[in-house]
């Protein structure tokens, strides 16, 4: 497992830190205005998805591997709704913040 503070991309590091802390404010700050995302190939509303999959269900990422300069991750993701699953994450970063993320089962 890769400690969060050792993730290679600072924007992705801020994103994962916010997810693991359940910190809505830090999560919002890690994203650009109008950031987009997809889950298993389907675009979702970021705010609705984050509330359901992260905040109200206590989401947590344990990063196993990173590539693409830290903008692609494989992580064990768990929450109270779905339990634990191996997931892949790909991030687009603009001006030091995440403008898009894509996640799905790995």
Q: What is the pLDDT of residue 89?
A: 98
Instruction: Please check whether residue 19 is in contact with residue 12, taking contact to mean a CB–CB distance below 8 angstroms.
Output: no
Average pLDDT on 77-86 reads 95
Tens digits of per-residue pLDDT, 29-62? 999 999 999 999 999 999 999 999 999 999 999 9
Instruction: Please check whether residue 30 is in contact with residue 13, taking contact to mean a CB–CB distance below 8 angstroms.
Output: no
Distance CA(62)–CA(66), nearest Å, equals 11
Predicted TM-score (pTM) of the model is 0.96
Confidence of residue 83 (pLDDT cuts 50, 70, 90): very high
What domains sit in the chain, N to C, each tagged with a CATH number?
A: 4-105 (3.10.450.50)
Average pLDDT on 11-25 reads 98
Q: What is the pLDDT of residue 70?
A: 96
């Amino acid at each position: 497992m890769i400690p969060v503070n050792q993730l290679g991309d600072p924007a992705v590091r801020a994103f994962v830190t916010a997810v693991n802390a359940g910190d809505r404010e830090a999560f919002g700050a890690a994203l650009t205005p109008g950031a987009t995302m997809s889950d298993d190939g389907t675009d979702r509303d970021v705010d609705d998805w984050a509330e359901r999959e992260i905040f109200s269900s206590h989401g947590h990422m344990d990063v196993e591997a990173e590539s693409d300069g830290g903008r692609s991750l494989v992580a064990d993701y768990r929450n109270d709704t779905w339990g634990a699953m191996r997931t892949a994450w790909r991030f687009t970063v603009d001006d030091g913040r995440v403008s898009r993320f894509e996640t799905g089962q790995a």
